[in-house]
Amino acid sequence: MWGGLGSTQFRAMLPQFVQLAASGFEAAGTLVMALGAVVALIQVIARARGAQNVVLEFRQRLGRAIILGLELLVAADILRTVSVAPTLRQVVVLGMIVAIRTFLSFSLEVELKGRWPWQEGRRRPE
C-alpha cells in the first residue's frame, strides 16, 4: 500500500493519472513548438542586421523546436494507448502516428544538419 491507498484504489486512479500525464505531454509539446517559433523569430530579428543566412538560422531554430515538440507528442500518444487495454486497432493507429512523427523528425534532422545521421563527420555546406 502506498500512502494508505489500497491496491484497488490505486488501480482505479492509475488511468486518470496516465491521462493527466498524457495531456501534460501534449500541452508541453504544443507549447514547445509555439514558443520555439516565437523565440526563433525574436532571435533572428534581433540579429538580422548584418547577419548572413537569416532564413537558414530561423529554419534551424524552428526545426529544433518542432523536433522537440514532436517527441513530446509521441510520448503523449504512447501513454494514452498503453493506459488502457489497447485493441489491435489502437496499436496500429499508434504505430502509424509514431511512424509519421518519427519520419517528420528524421526529415527535419536531415534538413537541419544537411547530412544523414550516419554521416556524423560531414557538415552542411555553407
12's CB contacts (< 8 A; 6+ apart) are: none
pLDDT in single tens digits along all 126 residues of the chain: 455 557 788 777 888 888 899 999 999 999 999 999 999 999 888 877 766 788 888 888 898 899 899 899 999 988 888 877 788 888 898 899 889 988 888 888 888 777 777 777 655 555
Cell of 54: 537569416
What is the pLDDT, as a whole number, of residue 1?
A: 45
- Of 62, 73, 67, 64, nearest to 30 (Cα)? 73
List the alpha helices (DSSP H) in the chain.
Answer: 7-46, 54-82, 88-113
| Cβ atoms of residues 98 and 73 within 8 Å | no
